[in-house]
Structure 1
Amino acid sequence: MKPDLLLAQECRPPETSPGERFRHGQRDGFAWQSAGTRDWGSGLFARSASLVPIAIPDYDGWVVGGQIRNTSWLERPFIVFSVHGPAGERGYIRTMQHILDRIAALRGRADLVLGGDFNIAVGYRQPRDRIRMLRGERDILDRLTNEFELVSCWQAANPDRPLAQTLRWTGNPSAPYHCDGIFVPRSWLPLLISCRVVRGSRWKQLSDHNPVVAEFREKATNFIA
């Protein structure tokens, strides 16, 4: 895969990851921050683009991003955040609402993209799904839809399907947890070609999460979270 935009969570910079050969170029946008005193954090990579960092107070290393400019694969600037939802002091749902409160101040400045491991359901569950959807999870999805005018790429590209598994939780590796996703402006939907969850032995060795890949029609842009 050669993504134009890569959003990573619970990761280390490439240069400190044993056996990792990837290095970003001088013309690429790249940002990474540790989550507190941990040796891992969140990051993003934008191919052939410039990045103007935007800090989200209280969430250094959990929410990393900024404005992407001067891309060869998208006509206009946009704001993007790589999100790793922490439990915080009030649990995942309330903490995610607080993160959205902080990001809400940026609405209107440019198109907004959010992606990563939200640690809550990032798609509406159907009545027949094995896992019950919490009211707080639905409230967050409703807020993303109505206030932020964002849509889940996976759910938009795979309507009326049970949510795909993105997390193989060690406590129940067969449960179809769907906590990783990519949210883009509703106005981008006509450009969305596909969105899939990548599986395979290679990914099982790297993480208990499966990458989510979204492809867009505008110059064959690929986003991965």
Structure 2
Amino acid sequence: MRLATWNACKGQFDHKFPMLNELRPDIAVVQEIAAPHAQTDQILWFGDNRQLGLAVVASKGYSLRPLPPLPDVPKYVIPVAVQGPVPFILFAVWTLGEQPMKYVRALSTAVDLYAHLFAENQVVVMGDFNSNAKWDKEHPKELNHSALVARLKEKGLVSAYHHHRKELHGSEVEPTFFHQWNEAKPHHIDYCFVPNAWADLAVSVEVGSFEGWKGKSDHRPLVAEIALPDSTAP
């Protein structure tokens, strides 16, 4: 199974989403993208502005069902039931900066609010977190990035990139975001957290190159390929 997240940096769905085709994602979370013309059990979209929202897309063999959101959950941490060869609950993430609980604080709060879903299901948390351990001091200690990683670890989840690459949070070699589209301003802020047992089955975790994606977005896609026993992925 191939899991992908990419912030498209605005644009129409029919134009931007096909850019991921070469990556062959089974499940993709795409931020900052306009609403598609129609939603199906393989294409979901969430947002207040139809030109700028969060999409979750499944390939053949998988289907999606939005779960009822809890009240007062900060935007955007969206629970979606994924059905297919390996069913799981996906939290599609795009944290924002203009709300009271901004960025990593919002996601940490949402993880706490949705504790019951973590306890009862296999869970993947994937998307644009807008956070990194190097900014821990900018947030309350209990709601910073390192605290979030610890929260997810307690729930049996680990970052596929960091587990597979054996890199520490805050010391990532490959950035997923270039501030102001500038190669000299790299940051790693997009993640795919998977169950511990899945992380050990990771075949690859790839990040798009600066050159290969520089005309498409200020973010780079992160793709984790997991060789799950019942998966139909090659």
TM-score range, shorter chain: 0.7 to 0.9
Larger mean Cα displacement after TM superposition, 94-103 or 58-67: 58-67
For this pair of structures, how many residues does the alignment match? 199
Moved over 3 A (4+): 57-61, 131-135, 219-222
For residue 200 of structure 1, report the CA deviation from its aligned partner. 4.4
For residue 68 of structure 1, report the CA deviation from its aligned partner. 1.1
**1:137 equivalent in structure 2:** 145
Decide which of 105, 130, 150 is 1:94's aligned counterpart.
105
Decide which of 95, 103, 107 is 1:85's aligned counterpart.
95
In proportion to residue count, which structure has more helix? 2
CA distance in 2, matches of 1:93, 1:180: 12
Q: TM-score, normalised on structure 2?
A: 0.74
Decide which of 171, 176, 190 is 1:180's aligned counterpart.
190
**2:31 equivalent in structure 1:** 9
Report the residue type matching 2:123 in the other structure: L
Greater length-normalized contact order (CA 8 Å, ≥ 6 residues apart): 2
For residue 3 of structure 1, report the CA deviation from its aligned partner. 1.1
CA distance in 2, matches of 1:79, 1:101: 15
Q: Where do 5+ consecutive residues of structure 1 fail to align?
A: 16-22, 126-130
Report the residue type matching 1:157 in the other structure: H
CA distance in 2, matches of 1:197, 1:55: 32
Report the residue type matching 1:80 in the other structure: L
Q: Is the 8 A contact 2:82 2:90 kept in 1?
A: yes
CA distance in 2, matches of 1:202, 1:33: 28
Q: Is the 8 A contact 1:8 1:43 kept in 2?
A: yes
CA distance in 2, matches of 1:137, 1:60: 16
**1:20 equivalent in structure 2:** none
- Taking a change above 3 Å as real, the CA distance of residues 169 and 49 of structure 1, as seen in their structure-2 partners, is same
Task: Report the RMSD for the aligned CA atoms in angstroms.
Answer: 2.7
CA distance in 2, matches of 1:221, 1:137: 31
- Taking a change above 3 Å as real, the CA distance of residues 94 and 63 of structure 1, as seen in their structure-2 partners, is closer
CA distance in 2, matches of 1:85, 1:132: 15
SS in 1 for 2:28: strand
Does structure 1 residue 106 correspond to structure 2 residue 117? yes
Deviations 1:1-35 (A, max 9, x none): 221111111112344xxxxxxx99x7x6221112x
SS in 2 for 1:208: coil
Does structure 1 residue 215 correspond to structure 2 residue 222? no
Q: Is the 8 A contact 1:67 1:80 kept in 2?
A: yes
**1:30 equivalent in structure 2:** 43
For residue 90 of structure 1, report the CA deviation from its aligned partner. 3.6
